[in-house]
Amino acid sequence: MPTSKYYNNESPLFHSSSAEHSSIKIYLDFNKKDVLQGLYYTMPDNCHWAEELSKLAKSCESKTFSELQKNLGESDSKAKTFFDVPNFLLKEALEVYRGKVPALNELKKTINDELVCRCFGIYKEELLEVLGENPEYKEKDLTNATKAGAGCSTCLVDFQEVFSEARVRQAKKLLVN
């Protein structure tokens, strides 16, 4: 894709929700703590919403779902134009995302483990098991063995926490023996 002067003007490989209007599409990518990792968008060339979409992408990143909803409500009352496409799309994508949350909660009831990498469906206990069997593994070895962390990268913090937990478990095991 050609380089753009606009922030996050691209179509991501993985995303949590999306919305589309008049050939403009936005994508939201939330981590498992409901923090927006990125707002991405695609649009036709010479789209007059380009600058606003770029500003929206910058301003939304690293905000929680709740913060985004609150800010969106405040911006609705301050709307400068009759129909603000970027905020309309954000609102729609948040509604789509909110619709997905109950499904994730239902899944959590059936699986008694913490999903770490949603790109490849890797759970915490699976990572801990691999590290337990291979105590010499470094983070890149664990990624090569499980693919965790090799996709969209929103799980890297959680991946590193699991790695640290495994090291603590290994140290405790050595102390007991």
22 burial class (0-12, 13-18, 19+ CB within 10 angstroms)?
exposed
Higher pLDDT, 58 or 159: 58
- What pLDDT, on the 0 to 100 scale, is given for residue 1? 43
Model's pTM, two decimal places?
Answer: 0.56
Structure tokens at 126: 């699976």
Element (DSSP H or E) covering residue 31: none
What class does CATH assign to 115-176? mainly alpha
8 A C-beta contact, residue 36 and residue 61: yes
Looking at every residue in the chain, the average pLDDT score rounds to: 82
Which pLDDT value is given to residue 59? 93
- What percent of the chain is predicted at pLDDT more than 70? 84
User: What local confidence, expressed as pLDDT, does residue 102 receive?
Assistant: 44
- Residues 55-95: tens digit of each pLDDT: 999 999 999 999 998 887 665 545 454 567 898 889 888 98
Query: Mean pLDDT over residues 154-174, rounded?
Result: 86
- What percentage of the chain carries pLDDT values higher than 90? 22
Least confident of 47-51, 150-154, 167-171: 150-154
User: Domain extents for the chain?
Assistant: 17-110, 115-176
On whether the CB atoms of residues 142 and 172 are closer than 8 A, the answer is no
Give the domain 17-110 fold. Answer: Sufe protein. Chain: A (3.90.1010)
Residues 130, 96 contacting (CB under 8 angstroms): no
Question: Closest by alpha carbon to 145, among 166, 127, 125?
Answer: 127
- Per-residue pLDDT of 8-65, as tens digits, reads 888 887 788 888 888 899 999 998 888 999 999 999 988 888 999 999 999 999 999 9
Question: pLDDT tens digits for 24-37?
Answer: 999 999 988 889 99
Please tell me the predicted confidence (pLDDT) of residue 2: 47
**In this structure, how many other beta carbons lie within 10 angstroms of the beta carbon of residue 26?**
27
pLDDT at 109: 54
DSSP one-letter code for 37: E
pLDDT of 60 reads 94
